Amino acid sequence: MKKCILIALLLFGSSQVSQAQSPEEKIKELGLELPEVSQPMANYVKWKQVGNLLYLAGNGPDVFGKVGADLTTEEGYQAARETGLEIIAVLQAATGDLSRIKQFVKVLGMVNSAPDFTGHPAVINGFSDLMVAVFGQKGKHARSAVGVAALPNNIAVEIEVIVELEDEK
């Protein structure tokens, strides 16, 4: 019986298994559109590579206000997701090929929040969920999600990331 199941899996199961998709293919499959990479707002760069680590400057959405006062947790989640799309666009510009990303290492998510708001992790999940949807296990990361009194131009969230790149061939 076990032999029959194994043969069936070998014959029929392999046709069910799809090839691993590139992040670009996954973005297309999910119907996502990456925004244009904006210019830095001040005297800094969007990314800096040191060895195989790529450090991204903080990015934020075109969503404004304090979560817990002006915005709901769900609106904050969507703002963090929008920020994730901007970050993917910056990663694309920095690497030329999202498949060069070996893994996400560390994420700092800052939420512009009302003083009594405590749902910061739920907001930054908008970013984290998107990275796992696009990059799979490579998108899982260590993370801090914190509330802050204010962010530049009153944006709802600001997120910075560190990714490890594959060795160049």
pTM: 0.87
pLDDT of 8 above 50: no
pLDDT digits over 25-34, tens only?
999 999 999 9
As a whole number, mean pLDDT of residues 146-167 equals 97
- The b/e string for 39-74 (b: 16+ C-beta within 10 A; e otherwise) is eeeeeeebbeeeeeebbbbbbbbebebbbbeebebe
* Token output for 132: 């796992």
pLDDT of 17 above 50: no
pLDDT digits over 32-70, tens only?
999 999 899 899 999 999 999 999 999 999 999 999 999
More confident residue, 21 or 142: 142
Residue 102 phi/psi, 5-degree rounding, is: -80, -40
Distance CA 44, CA 126 (A): 26
Please check whether residue 26 is in contact with residue 122, taking contact to mean a CB–CB distance below 8 angstroms: no
Give the three-state DSSP class for 56: strand
Distance CA 128, CA 107 (A): 9
Q: What is the pLDDT of residue 20?
A: 78
* Token output for 114: 């009302």
pLDDT digits over 77-132, tens only?
999 999 999 999 999 999 999 999 999 999 999 999 999 999 999 999 999 999 99
Looking at every residue in the chain, the average pLDDT score rounds to 90
Give the three-state DSSP class for 48: strand
Sheet of 53-56: strands edge to edge? 47-50, 53-56, 157-165, 101-112, 142-148
Domains with residue ranges and CATH for the chain:
20-165 (3.30.1330.40)
